[in-house]
Amino acid sequence: MKALRQEIVAVCGTGPVAANHLPAMPLLSGTVREVLRLYPPAYTMFLRRAVRDVTIAGLPVRRGDVVQVVPWITQRDARWFPNPESFDPRRWLDSDHQPFTYFPFGAGPRVCIGQTFGLMEVSIAIATVVRTWTPHPESADPVPEARFSLRPRGGLRQRWTRAVD
């Protein structure tokens, strides 16, 4: 949190956070990406019907079979993300990831059309808030609950204090 806040203040000062600041804040980008890796809003993607016979990871998928992609599982796979259960925003700095191992907004021809705007919006919001405030969870780590989107069971109670670094 301290490093993130320092990056935000160094780039934005005390003025409004703007979209043109975002490219200069790689730790902020890594933080957003890491949160979405561990807690993808769509924990699973919609079902798809195979249009031709293929083999995936040694398993046959026949034309007409129904398949489902689950970001919650793929994005926590140690083959793609070392220490997959750890929150590490720095993993996104100077890092190349295999295609289709990270897809909180979907992938391919059905990727969310609002992905770029959504990332920009959440990055500006986070930078604006954490520059001044520090969250303090009032309970243990949240237990994810799968509904249409992933949510913390029982909510996410927090106390916020003015940042002091």
pLDDT digits (tens, 9 = 90+) for 3-42: 999 999 999 999 999 999 999 999 999 999 999 999 998 8
Assess contact for 20 and 3: CB atoms under 8 A.
no
Domain boundary assignment for the chain = 2-162
**Per-residue pLDDT tens digits of the chain, which is 165 residues long:** 999 999 999 999 999 999 999 999 999 999 999 999 999 988 787 788 999 999 988 999 999 999 988 899 999 999 999 999 999 999 999 877 888 899 999 888 888 999 999 999 999 999 999 999 999 988 888 888 887 788 888 888 899 999 876
> What pLDDT shows up at residue 96?
76
For the chain, report the end-to-end CA distance as a whole number of angstroms: 10
> What pLDDT shows up at residue 109?
85
> What CATH architecture is 2-162?
Orthogonal Bundle (1.10)
Give the whole-angstrom CA distance, residue 54 versus residue 61: 5
> What pLDDT shows up at residue 146?
83
Beta-strand runs (E) in the chain: 48-49, 54-56, 59-61, 66-67, 133-137, 144-146, 150-152, 158-162
Beta-strand runs (E) in 17-157: 48-49, 54-56, 59-61, 66-67, 133-137, 144-146, 150-152
Assess contact for 24 and 146: CB atoms under 8 A.
no
Residue written as token pair 């160094």:
10
Contacts of 96 (CB under 8 A, 6+ apart): none
**Listed residue (71, 25, 22) closest to 44, CA to CA:** 71
